[in-house]
Amino acid sequence: MKIKTFLFCNESSFNESIKSIERDCKKGETKVIIKHEIITRNDVIHLLLDWIRPLKDHYSQGAARLMLGDTSAHYSESSAYMEGYSRVLWGLGPLFSQKNQTLSTAVLAEMAEWKELVLRGLVNGTDPEHEEYWKDVGDYDQKMVEMAAIVNTLLLSQETLWEPLTAAQKQNIYQWLNQINTHEVYANNWRFFRILVNMFFVKTGFAYDEKRMEEDWAVIEGCYEGEGWYFDGHSGQKDYYIPFAMHYYGLLYAAYMKDIEPERCSVLRHRAENFLGDFLYWFDCDGREVPFGRSLTYRFAHSAFFSAMAFSGAEADMSVLKHMVLGNLRYWSSQPMFDNGGIMTIGYQYPNLIMSERYNAPGSPYWSFKTFLALALPEEHAFWQCEECGPSFETIRFLEKPNMIAVHENQGHTLLYPAGQHSSNFGNTAAKYQKFVYSSLFGFSIPRGVELEDGAFDSTLAVTAAGENKWHMRNGEAWYEITRQYIRMQYEPVKGVKVKTVIVPLRVGHMRIHLIQSAIDAEYADGGFAIRTEQQGQEMKQDMVCLTGNEVKCVFPWGNAGAICMSGMGKPRLVRPFPNTNIMYGSTVIPTMYYHLCAGTHCIADYFYGDGCFLENGKLVTLPQFINRKDNEKITVEILYEEEKIVIEF
């Protein structure tokens, strides 16, 4: 099979490439790899169309269902098909909203075909007499989630999508959407779906449920903690649902209702403006995010907040917003997130069901299209006219509301050190929220079992009773605290083993000190970053790995990672976890410090580092000093790093 790679730089190359793609694909001879320059609004339009073009063959005859695979979610297959239809609208709705007069005739014709398909699916899906009717809505129904994309699309393009409908078709849409007002909705970001549906009724002159809206706003207000930060129905959960759900929907409301509810809309914009300063620290200077928490299969939805800021008219530097949106799209456009048929897969940097949640159906990843809201801004808008400018960062930043310390190391390495984060069990949530550190370059790993290799215990302390080989990391804390210099926590990873851990983020790498009080003999694996074992044809070789008395380090052509025992009791190991456990790389190794300790009290300390640090002749330029003192049962540790001294008492 031939492989063709196209770089679209202008309209001419786009049109010629499309002709070539169509010609060769009809012969079944060509696999197409599309690369883009992503600089202008038209570049983003081409990207969107290229990503949705493979979907056309997977719509049902009535276009109300998009069937993309055979894996399952906790909701029905019919709801999954409806979800597939709806989620593509997060991209198409903004695209349809503008005249797009600078596009070629061929592209405009393709857009017209998509518009016909969208309308046909909407009319059929809401017609109770049609065989592709989306069915009635029940309590806590997944279809409630998908209503938001539909009402947003109709509001963005009322003249071309809503007005041409017949009175009967409009009534069917209203009746189907209005079911959300007669059923129970989760007390989290889901309340925004009912708010947005009722907002649509307000804007189109239908009867709306004012009482429900006020109930839902009360829930949203109860999730607000100040300084721009919400939680998503659970006070211990501060993840990407805050920007791409709570704020995103609030900013949509602020844009549409600014003349009807100016005071509420002003509050929503102001909160987003306050949130922006903290949230930027979850990204590197090129717009690449730190993978953390659940729903990572939504990928570039992480930058949707920046599009919503621009769309809503919130006060922010447009050059920074543009850079974060386009930079994030550039990053994701180069990742292998599509299958050979061009369908976006469940996974993160590559297809991976191991890291999925129970609510991930085949069409779910297209929720990422929320970032394309920027296309609802016309070409002459300041967002598209300004020059991009990346944000400037402090090296170490204390983020009080999400209980994190963010670090921006050298060479673009961005890290988040969280505490107190937890979530309901949607699938491997301990690994997604409770590792000691999350990295933009190394990601994190998801367990496939409880042995050391299949557990893939990177960036955490794993414990097993001696000889059992049943390893566990922490899942919750008895208590924690976070300061500007360090994070402390206490937890019991296995019965009989209590651990007090202090994490000290440094400008390069971080220190971990564990005070262990154990009633049993146990083994401990203090895992570092999971580093990939190959890249672009280069493979890890034995001479690239060094294990000495107190250190294990990997110095690969594509990066480095290592662990150093600072307490004198650890033995270096290079753990080879099962394949496909890391969310970014299929094959990795984990530099690890191993301990076998008898029952009693022990204080151990390790230093971990990875890309972003400078090596000279394979050695770190700067290495922290660790001092451990015990006085009348009180343990005091000191960490000396560069000109800084950090003192911690246990």
Using 50, 70 and 90 to split pLDDT, how confident is the model at 232? very high
What are φ and ψ of residue 224, in 5° steps? -90, 130
Distance CA 143, CA 82 (A): 7
The whole-number pLDDT of residue 626 equals 87
Amino acid identity, residue 623? L
Helix (H) / strand (E) element for 28: namely none
CA 178 to chain CA mean position, Å? 31
The structure tokens listed for 502 are 């202090």
The whole-number pLDDT of residue 21 equals 52
CB 514 within 8 A of CB 605: yes
Amino acid identity, residue 17? S
- Mean pLDDT for the chain overall: 92
Q: Reduce the DSSP state of residue 158 to 3 states and report it.
A: helix
Q: Give helix 191-204 / helix 210-222 axis angle, nearest 10°.
A: 140
Q: Give helix 105-125 / helix 167-178 axis angle, nearest 10°.
A: 60
Read off the pLDDT of residues 175-200 as tens digits, 9 standing for 90 and up: 999 999 999 999 999 999 999 999 99
DSSP string, 194-242: HHHHHHHHHHHT----HHHHHHHHHHHHHTEEETTEE-SSSTT--STHI
What pTM did the predictor assign? 0.93
Nearest to 255 by CA among 244, 264, 245: 264
- Who wins on pLDDT, 22 or 139? 139
Using 50, 70 and 90 to split pLDDT, how confident is the model at 35? low
Q: Reduce the DSSP state of residue 388 to 3 states and report it.
A: coil
Q: In 209-342, at which residue ranges do the beta strands (DSSP E only) sit? A: 224-226, 229-230
Question: What are residue 66's DSSP bridge partners?
Answer: 59
Using 50, 70 and 90 to split pLDDT, how confident is the model at 27? very low
The whole-number pLDDT of residue 629 equals 80
**For the residues 262-280, what does the mean pLDDT come to?**
98
pLDDT of residue 62 exceeding 60, the answer is: yes
Helix (H) / strand (E) element for 344: namely none
The whole-number pLDDT of residue 617 equals 67
Amino acid identity, residue 61? Q
Vertex 589: Cα angle to 584 and 590 (nearest 5): 100
Distance CA 340, CA 398 (A): 43
The structure tokens listed for 591 are 């530099």
How many other C-beta atoms lie within 10 A of the C-beta of residue 484? 9
**For the residues 8-28, what does the mean pLDDT come to?**
48
Using 50, 70 and 90 to split pLDDT, how confident is the model at 572? very high
pLDDT of residue 234 exceeding 90, the answer is: no
The whole-number pLDDT of residue 10 equals 43
CB 615 within 8 A of CB 546: no
The structure tokens listed for 487 are 């994070």
Place of tokens 């960490």: 639
Distance CA 590, CA 557 (A): 17
Distance CA 303, CA 293 (A): 15
Amino acid identity, residue 322? K
Helix (H) / strand (E) element for 120: namely helix 105-125
How many other C-beta atoms lie within 10 A of the C-beta of residue 87? 24
How many other C-beta atoms lie within 10 A of the C-beta of residue 1? 8
Read off the pLDDT of residues 99-137 as tens digits, 9 standing for 90 and up: 998 999 999 999 999 999 999 999 999 999 999 999 999
pLDDT of residue 639 exceeding 70, the answer is: yes
Range name among 24-28, 38-42, 214-218 with the lowest pLDDT average: 24-28
CB 173 within 8 A of CB 165: yes
Helix (H), strand (E), coil (C) string for 39-105: CCHHHHHHHHHHHHHHHHHHECCCCCCECCCCCCCCCCHHHHHHHHHHHCHHHHHHHHCCCCCCCCH
Amino acid identity, residue 571? K
The number of CA neighbours under 13 Å toward the Cβ of 37 is 10
Using 50, 70 and 90 to split pLDDT, how confident is the model at 146? very high
The residues, ordered by sequence, that sit 6+ positions from 399 with a Cβ below 8 Å of its Cβ are: 278, 281, 405, 406
pLDDT of residue 152 exceeding 80, the answer is: yes
Helix (H) / strand (E) element for 396: namely strand 396-399
CB 304 within 8 A of CB 442: no
Helix (H) / strand (E) element for 475: namely none
The whole-number pLDDT of residue 442 equals 97
pLDDT of residue 265 exceeding 70, the answer is: yes
The whole-number pLDDT of residue 618 equals 64
DSSP state of 287: S
How many other C-beta atoms lie within 10 A of the C-beta of residue 351? 17
Q: In what order do the strands lie in the sheet with 487-494?
A: 479-482, 487-494, 497-505, 510-518, 600-610, 559-565, 551-556, 545-547
**For the residues 484-490, what does the mean pLDDT come to?**
96
**For the residues 473-481, what does the mean pLDDT come to?**
94
Distance CA 30, CA 341 (A): 11
Q: Reduce the DSSP state of residue 567 to 3 states and report it.
A: coil
Read off the pLDDT of residues 489-548 as tens digits, 9 standing for 90 and up: 999 999 999 999 999 999 999 999 999 999 999 999 999 999 999 998 999 999 999 999
Nearest to 366 by CA among 328, 337, 341: 337
**For the residues 615-630, what does the mean pLDDT come to?**
76
CB 612 within 8 A of CB 561: no
Using 50, 70 and 90 to split pLDDT, how confident is the model at 309? very high
Q: Give helix 77-87 / helix 142-156 axis angle, nearest 10°.
A: 20
CB 560 within 8 A of CB 529: no
Helix (H) / strand (E) element for 419: namely none
Distance CA 342, CA 606 (A): 44
Using 50, 70 and 90 to split pLDDT, how confident is the model at 403? very high
Sign of CA dihedral 455, 459, 463, 468: positive
The whole-number pLDDT of residue 13 equals 44
Distance CA 193, CA 180 (A): 9
What are φ and ψ of residue 304, in 5° steps? -60, -30
CB 294 within 8 A of CB 239: yes
